[in-house]
Chains A and B, each alone.
Chain A
Amino acid sequence: MTGLLAYSVFFLTIAGIYAIIVMGLNIQWGFTGLFNAGVVGFYAIGAYTCAVLIGPDRTFLFGGFGLPFAGGMLGAVVAAGLAGLVVALVTLRLSEEYLAIATFGIGISVQLVAINAAGLTGGTNGLYGLPRPFWNLTGDVAVFNLVYFAFVLVILGLIWAALARLIRSPWGRLLRAIREDDVAARSLGKSPVRVRIQSFVIGSGIMGLAGALYTGYIGFVSPIDFIPILTFQIWAMLIVGGSGSLLGGVVGSLVIWLVWTGSGTLLSRVAPPELQAQASAVQVILIGLIIVLTILFRPAGLIGEPRAVTPARRGG
């Protein structure tokens, strides 16, 4: 496998994991209008739950149950979903702005717990040497990367199919009804709060699943994997791609992650050696600029939400 291909597989795997988180956020924000600013918290809960369940036994740690990876994934979905339920019960009566602030605080709190609960999370050193599924299949890292990429693609496809079905169902229409007009939905005898909770829990569970996939791919988790900027990145992916569109979320993940990482490569090629250390500041400006330009020129995202009432043509 040539270098560029090997790198592309790696890049697409990470982008695919991010696309899964974006799908979780899409159901919450894109379809239900719930402003979750603590995305990273649910992702972290999934990643750590998986790590604790599948990790090797170490004397200074509580975890290390050595479960197979499927168990880790299941645990991650359940834990993140439960966390979503608790958060939803407490905060979903809040209106948009307040929900954003509350969830932002929750996202940061999860990271602080990861830093400080050293007996469970390994503290600042993180959990290392975690087993990776498919790792020992052939002993060739290129094969592992390919297989894992296929695995992430399959999961992504399954979630996509499930969400597409949900959205077309009456329940999915209800989500959008609540997003557009809460009072109108209530006047039709629907219970917005219950539906919001369901949507929030499903979204959180999906984010947790993405966390488990990251753990399985890297074999290591530590608190700095879950810094608040990740929440911003996920939001940027959703908004640039087009919130309310499943395809948009995936396209947005690819585009933003390509811009985010590719701009570094680009700058390291064009910047003169003596300015290399300073060029990284330009990278941050570049990323911001691209996001702002996309929003200015395509406010509905690269792929906008399909029109629900009078579809110009069929779309998914």
Chain B
Amino acid sequence: MTLKTTLLSASALALLGALAQPAQAQDQSCPVRLGAILSLTGSLGSVGEAIAEAGQLAVDHVNEAGGVLGCEVEYLLRDDQGQPSVGLDAAKTLVEVGGASVLLGAIQSGITMPILTSVAVPSGVPQVSCCSTAPSFTELASEGGTEGLWFRTIPTVSPQGIIMAEKAVEMGYKRPAVIYVNSDYGSSLASAFEAAAKTKGLEIAAMVPYLQEQASYRAEVSTALREEPDSLFLIAFPADGANALREWLSLGGPDTLMLSNALRASEFVEGVGAQYLNKAIGIDNGQIEGESVEIFDAAWVEAFDTSPNGPALHNMYDAAMTALLAIEAAGSTDGEAIAAQMRNVTGGGGTEVLTGPEGFANAKAALEAGEKVSYVGATGAFSFDVNGDVSGPYVIYSVAEDGGFSEVDAWDTARVDAAVEAFNAADQ
């Protein structure tokens, strides 16, 4: 054996050793392990890092409150590199070798779905996604393909489209154009908006998809502007969205803007300039005000010294918190027991518990006293339906001159449900 092959086989052995080492630790019940698979590099790496930190923050808060089941919580974070096969491998390692009791993630539906069907469901491990909005999960769940182990803390895009169409009517827009990112998120939201807008008598001037991470979006913007729209619904991620919107404004597009939830990010506002966004309204799920939100925001600023404005940060925190609450309520790390408790610890009724270490400590005390708890999270109060989809409040936000966000219209659960029902009736 030459030196080189020795070195190579030594490094291969080191890798195997790293894989094998935690196998013994699995037999102990402590610590409780929370696996997370997120895109830390790759096309969504720029948003994924902050989402990962939101999960870490939740775990830190829970550990500060004494952990769950008397154990410390370990946060096992893995990068999927934006590639499903890498994410799948990470998920399989986390479950089989790492001893993860719950999987959090992934971000892109195309990674979340194979993890769900090939790792989480076969292994009986609950999966909670912060970020995947594709309608296919709802369909799979209603076909029985998720075995009740699937949850997400981000709403499907359908109510967003319906509410945004209603807001467009309210603002007096007649011919909105839609520019959307050609991903599961963008195309689902765009078609939900299109369908809802049609039932309300709006004329969609143009539906223009764009590809992520292009240097320029002039062609897409020109295509949309050629149809002379009176407003724009921009469905994008922060960096590309800012890029596209700058071109839109410089080509003389109207500043009557509607923004999707992923654009509630400082990166986007700074990229465009807050002064151009004074007529913009945006939609996001969850509350952006309220005590539970403020506790999270303050904790975030203290921990990372940045403002907590980015896609899905609040949802990730809630995903981790809900999962840990469910473990505490279940009294074990058995997958089915945890999944059964996910709905019990949310959705109102019982003792209301908030975010932060104190919120979790309160929840533990209440659970110990045999009370039902109801988590009010960084996105406000929410509940899971039979398909694991979250229903919760929505908020219409505007951009202030200093680049911050403020709430201009709140949609509580009842109002959202009414709008969805009205749409379903009109769509028949």
Binding site for B on A (CB under 8 A): 2-4, 6-7, 10-11, 14, 115-116, 118, 122-126, 128-129, 141, 144, 217-220, 222-225, 227, 229-230, 255, 258-266, 268-269, 273-274, 276-278, 280-281, 283-284, 290, 294, 297-298, 302
Give the complex CA separation of A230 and B109 in angstroms: 19
Which residues of chain A have C-beta atoms less than 8 A from B96's C-beta?
A: 3-4, 6-7, 10
Give the complex CA separation of A222 and B81 in angstroms: 16
Residue contact B187 to A227, C-beta cutoff 8 Å: no
- Listed by A's residue number, 13 A-B pairs whose Cβ atoms lie within 8 Å are A10-B92, A11-B92, A124-B109, A219-B117, A220-B113, A225-B85, A227-B82, A230-B83, A262-B15, A269-B21, A273-B75, A280-B45, A284-B81
Please name 7 further chain A to chain B contacts, defined as beta carbons within 8 Å, in addition to the given A125-B109, A220-B114, A261-B93, sorted by A numbering: A116-B209, A124-B134, A220-B117, A222-B184, A265-B18, A269-B18, A297-B4
B353 proximal to A (CB < 8 A): no
Which residues of chain B have C-beta atoms less than 8 A from A124's C-beta?
A: 109-110, 134, 182-184, 186-188
The 10 A-B pairs with the shortest beta carbon distances in the complex, nearest first, are: A141-B122, A280-B79, A262-B15, A222-B110, A280-B40, A3-B96, A224-B110, A7-B96, A124-B184, A261-B89
Stretch at the interface among B135-143, B168-176, B217-225, B229-237: B135-143
Size category of the B interface is: 35 or more
Residue contact B184 to A3, C-beta cutoff 8 Å: no
Residue contact B89 to A3, C-beta cutoff 8 Å: no
Give the complex CA separation of A4 and B95 in angstroms: 10
Stretch at the interface among B48-56, B378-386, B413-421: B48-56
Which residues of chain B have C-beta atoms less than 8 A from A260's C-beta?
A: 86
Give the complex CA separation of A224 and B132 in angstroms: 14
Residue contact A125 to B15, C-beta cutoff 8 Å: no
B249 proximal to A (CB < 8 A): no
Residue contact A10 to B89, C-beta cutoff 8 Å: yes
**Closest chain B CB from A240 CB (angstroms):** 10
Residue contact B19 to A262, C-beta cutoff 8 Å: yes
Residue contact B18 to A283, C-beta cutoff 8 Å: no
Q: What 1/0 mask marks residues of chain B from 1 to 19 whose CB sits below 8 Å from any chain A CB?
A: 0001100100110111011
**Contact flag A264-B90 (CB < 8 Å), given A3-B97, A6-B96, A124-B184:** yes
Which residues of chain A have C-beta atoms less than 8 A from B21's C-beta?
A: 269
Partner among A3, A261, A278, A297 whose Cβ is within 8 Å of the Cβ of B26? A3
B20 proximal to A (CB < 8 A): yes
B41 proximal to A (CB < 8 A): yes
**Contact flag A276-B56 (CB < 8 Å), given A7-B96, A225-B110, A266-B18:** yes
Beta-carbon nearest neighbor of A112 in chain B: B211
Residue contact A11 to B89, C-beta cutoff 8 Å: yes
Give the complex CA separation of A268 and B15 in angstroms: 12
Beta-carbon nearest neighbor of B91 in chain A: A10
